[in-house]
Chain A
Amino acid sequence: MSNNGKMIRKKDLTLWERIYIPEILKGVGLTISQIFKPKSTIQYPEERFTPPASFRGRPVLVEENGVERCVACGLCSRVCPALAIEVQGSETDLEKERFPEKFEINMVRCIFCGFCEEVCPEEAIIMSQEYELVFQSQEEAVFGKDKLLVPIEKVRDRLEFLHEHR
């Protein structure tokens, strides 16, 4: 402290405040009034938190008309700071011409930064609202296409949010 340890108050306390007891009682009143306010606890296993659209949960691949939007450009894998994404592209007869033969996200590595979502030109990989991730081994934590693909109806909220704010 530069002022030689002396306390500096913006304004001197009045005598009423320096008696201290009325101020304590005021504080007690505030404390007691809190008792009747609504509780903010969520009792987890019974009640669950529904995150807003802006929430970045686990990344998922959008599935439209039974097939993923992803064209296996590899940008997400390139931008991923944690090197969690692995993509192997291949050719297809569909209009999009390319599709990911293998798409794996190592959920132990993922840091939920959302860069993959930001960089994706097809809006194919997006952050979902799911936050409950449990695995019992390293192998189990590597999510393949089977776990990543999510029908578009389930992620409408997020897509709308992205259209609005990006």
Chain B
Amino acid sequence: MNLIEPLVKVVLILAVMLTLVILLVYSERRISAFIQNRIGPNRVGPKGILQAVADVVKLLMKEDIVPKNANKPIHDLAPMISIGVAMSTFAVIPIGGTMVLLGQSVRLMLADVNIGILYILALTSMGVYGITLAGWSSNSKYSLLGGLRSSAQLISYELSMGLSIVGVLLIAGTLQLDGIVQAQSAYIGGWLPAWNVFLQPVAFVTFVVSAFAETNRLPFDLPEAEPELVGGYHTEYSGLKFGLFMLSEYVNLVVASAIIVTLFLGGYSVPFAEYMNLSAQTVSLIQVLTFCVKTAGVILFFVVIRWTLPRFRYDQLMDLGWKVMLPIALANLVVTGFILAAFS
């Protein structure tokens, strides 16, 4: 088995991810500043683009404080779980089709797992362990509350998330992410790309809302809710370990956006590309670019939503999850099933 190819891919993905996260932190701060009629970081480097780098350097040099009564091994372990899980989710996401590089055809994904979606679902639910353990091992009431909230929130939203994915699976007929993207490159009525956002609009909405809850972004960032819980699960973290939580949060955001793009927005498929007589090499380049643009668009949406909606109250969050999202996702699944059964 060729070991070099996956290794190169791993290194590439890690490097690209970290650069992306740095850019993402910068752009989020800048955009939020613009939204609030401020200027935002503009001192470090041209237009302040190196601000996040400076922040990382600062975090690296800070003292790592562990509370006296904390459970040290688990306190150390929690951020590693968080970041490891967040990073490894990206392994199964196809960022492009097949590309010919150095005389070899290379699949533009790290691992073509035939149960890709199950893998993603499993890993995103693993992520909660990082947060919950961080909250519990810190031995502080704020952290514990943050961790508990996080687990309750993830359990409530995982259901609607899973159910809305099932609708997509019914249409695509496969659990393989590449297969789902392939299924979306067809056309409805000859002109509308058969993206799942058009075929499964309800599932798209429930999935996006659940994704907000899964990534702990506003309006569902109750696990860290600064005004109530100081910092939530990472109150007792400092230095590099805090940085890892921060990093995993942003990696989660990138991964969630990539999943949304793959499942609902056609993944790397470019509509009408096959009519343009392009060489295979150009097409695969355009595919990668399309994937990046789509993902960036979704990330931008996440950022803008963060500065638009206020945080939910805890009972409202639970109400929304169990009384609204779950029935809607379930009904959507039943309707999709009936329609598919009627037409096949």
Taking CB atoms, residues of chain B closer than 8 Å to A31 are 35, 304, 307-308
Q: Is B37 an interface residue (CB 8 A)?
A: yes
Most chain B CB within a 10 A radius of its CB, from A21, A28, A31: A31
- Determine whether the beta carbon of A40 is less than 8 Å from that of B308: no
Q: Is the CB of A28 within 8 A of B37?
A: no
Give me 26 A-to-B residue pairs in the complex whose CB atoms sit less than 8 angstroms apart, sorted by A's number: A21-B205, A24-B305, A24-B309, A28-B301, A28-B304, A28-B305, A30-B308, A31-B304, A31-B307, A31-B308, A32-B304, A34-B34, A34-B35, A34-B36, A34-B37, A35-B31, A35-B34, A35-B35, A39-B34, A39-B38, A39-B39, A40-B37, A40-B38, A41-B37, A41-B39, A43-B39
Q: Give A24 to B320 CA distance when docked, in angstroms.
A: 15
In the complex, A132→B198 CA distance in Å?
A: 60
Q: A21-B205, A31-B308, A35-B34 are in contact. List 16 more A-B contacts (CB 8 A).
A: A24-B305, A24-B309, A28-B301, A28-B308, A31-B35, A31-B304, A32-B35, A32-B304, A34-B37, A35-B31, A37-B37, A38-B37, A39-B34, A41-B37, A41-B39, A43-B39
Give the chain B neighbours of A37 by CB distance below 8 A. Answer: 37
Closest 6 CB pairs of A and B: A31-B308, A41-B39, A35-B34, A27-B308, A40-B37, A34-B35
- Chain A residues proximal to chain B, CB less than 8 Å: 21, 24, 27-28, 30-32, 34-35, 37-41, 43
Residue of A nearest to B320 (CB): A20
Total interface residues on B, CB under 8 Å, equals 14
A-side interface mostly: helix
Q: What's the Cα separation between A43 and B38 when bound, in Å?
A: 10
CA–CA, A1 and B304, complex, Å: 34
Specify the chain B residue showing the minimal Cβ separation from A40: B37
Which B residues are CB-close (under 8 A) to A30? 308
Q: Name which residue of chain B comes closest to A21, CB basis.
A: B205
CB B217 to nearest CB in A, in angstroms, measures 14
Chain A residues within an 8 Å CB radius of B307: 31
CB-CB nearest in chain B for A27: B308
Closest partner residue, chain B, to A38 (CB atom): B37
Complex CA–CA separation, A21 to B204 (angstroms): 12
B308: A residues at CB distance < 8 A: 24, 27-28, 30-31
- Hey, which chain B residues are within 8 Å of A39, CB to CB? 34, 37-39
* Nearest Cβ on chain B to A42's Cβ, whole angstroms: 10
B residues with a Cβ closer than 8 A to A are: 31, 34-39, 205, 301, 304-305, 307-309
Q: Name the residue of chain A whose CB is nearest to the CB of B324.
A: A20
Closest residue on chain A to residue B43 by CB atoms: A43
C-alpha gap A40/B305 in the complex (Å): 22
The minimal Cβ–Cβ distance linking B341 to chain A, given in whole angstroms, is 28
Contacts of B36 in A (CB 8 A): 34
Minimum Cβ distance to chain B for residue A18 (Å): 10
Q: Could you tell me the distance between the alpha carbons of A28 and B305 in the complex, rounded to whole angstroms? A: 7
A residues within 8 A CB of B304?
Answer: 28, 31-32
Chain A CB count within 10 A is highest, among B36, B304, B305, B308, for B308
Who on chain B is nearest to A41 by CB?
B39
List the B side residues contacting A24 at CB < 8 Å: 305, 308-309
In the complex, what distance in Å separates the CA atom of A21 from the CA atom of B301?
A: 14
Of A30, A38, A41, the most chain B CB neighbours within 10 A belong to A41
CB distance from A87 to the nearest CB of B (A): 45
Taking CB atoms, residues of chain A closer than 8 Å to B309 are 24, 27
| A127 CB to nearest chain B CB (Å) | 29
- Residues from chain A with a CB closer than 8 A to the CB of B38 are 39-41
CA of A34 to CA of B38, assembled, Å: 10
Cβ contacts under 8 Å, B301 to chain A: 28
**In the bound complex, what is the Cα–Cα distance between A30 and B31 (angstroms)?**
14
User: A59 to B304, alpha carbons, bound, how many Å?
Assistant: 46
Nearest CB of chain B from residue A58's CB, rounded to whole Å: 28
Residues of A within 8 A of B34 (CB): 34-35, 39
A159→B304 CA distance, assembly (Å): 48
| Closest chain A residue to B303, Cβ basis | A31
CB distance from A4 to the nearest CB of B (A): 15
Q: Would you give the shortest CB distance from A24 to chain B, in whole angstroms? A: 7
Min distance, Cβ A99 to any Cβ of chain B, angstroms: 49
Q: Report the separation of the CA atoms of residues A122 and B34 in the bound assembly, to the nearest whole angstrom.
A: 48
Q: Which residues of A contact B37 (CB under 8 A)?
A: 34, 37-41
For B35, list chain A residues within 8 Å (CB): 31-32, 34-35
> In the complex, how many angstroms separate the beta carbon of B104 from the nearest chain A beta carbon?
44
* CA distance in complex: A28, B309 (Å): 9
